[in-house]
């Protein structure tokens, strides 16, 4: 528990876990909360080869250390994940969807939750899903899912890259 007294703008954040930063991603971006973003410097994202959505945060806070390396790591992790064997069987005829709801509504008997998360990633990467649709979906996910589901972390990193990255995903 933390007790803070004073104006909201004067509160300093000393530590937040990576999963907490990812879960609060949209709030942090919307509030342009530089104090929270600076907490990124306390984590060893590069050393630990972590998934982390850095592009949006970098537009708000210019005090992030190793920003170029963090962006390169995120870009490479997104592209390598897309190129992984996990997506070899995906093609426009069998895996193309244009809404998050159309993917999430696939019956569990024919499509596991893991595969649905992969379909979300693949379709966003291919630009079949809108950023707004994916954003609305990501905003509804609880923090426990961010801790436990690696695919959701990949999806938010792809979303961040496509929305705020300098290089367009091909």
- pLDDT per residue over 2-48, tens digit each? 445 556 556 655 678 888 888 899 999 999 999 999 988 888 888 88
Chain-centroid distance, C-alpha 167: 16
pLDDT at 169: 44
Domain that holds residue 113: 8-164
Which alpha helices (H) appear in 40-149, and where do they start and end?
Answer: 55-60, 67-83, 92-95, 100-104, 113-125, 131-139, 143-148
Query: What is the rounded CA–CA span in Å between residue 162 and residue 169?
Result: 7
Distance CA 65, CA 69 (A): 9
Is 3 a domain residue? no
pTM score, two decimals?
0.86
Is residue 138 over pLDDT 80?
yes
169, part of any domain = no
How many domains are contained in the chain?
1
Does 126 fall in a domain?
yes
102 in any annotated domain: yes
Report if residue 1 sits inside a domain.
no
Burial 43-55 (b: 16+ CB within 10 A, else e): bebeeeebbbbbb
Per DSSP, the three-state class of 22 is helix
Examine residue 118 and state whether it is found in any structural domain, yes or no.
yes
Residue 170 lies in a domain: no
Q: Which residues of 132-141 are buried (b: 16+ CB within 10 A; e: fewer)?
A: ebbeebbeee
Q: What pLDDT is attached to residue 2?
A: 47
Whether pLDDT at 136 is above 90: yes
Task: List, for residues 50-89, the tens digit of each pLDDT value.
Answer: 899 999 999 999 999 999 999 999 999 999 999 999 999 9
Residue 49 lies in a domain: yes
Q: Could you give the CA distance from residue 147 to residue 143 in angstroms, rounded to a whole number? A: 6
């Amino acid at each position: 528990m933390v007790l803070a007294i004073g104006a909201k703008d004067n509160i300093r954040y000393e530590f937040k876990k990576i999963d907490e930063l990812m879960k609060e991603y949209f709030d942090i971006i919307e509030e342009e909360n530089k104090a929270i973003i600076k907490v990124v410097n306390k984590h060893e994202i590069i050393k630990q080869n972590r998934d982390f959505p850095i592009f949006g945060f970098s537009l708000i806070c210019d005090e992030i250390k190793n920003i170029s390396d963090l962006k390169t790591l995120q870009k490479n992790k997104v592209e390598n994940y897309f190129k992984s064997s996990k997506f070899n069987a995906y093609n426009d005829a069998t895996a193309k969807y244009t809404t998050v709801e159309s993917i999430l509504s696939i019956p569990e008997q024919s499509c596991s939750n893991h595969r649905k998360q992969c379909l979300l990633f693949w379709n966003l990467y291919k630009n079949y899903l809108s950023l707004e649709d994916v954003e609305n979906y990501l905003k509804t996910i609880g923090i426990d899912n961010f801790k436990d589901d690696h695919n959701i972390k990949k999806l938010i990193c792809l979303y961040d890259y496509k929305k705020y990255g300098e290089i367009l995903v091909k």
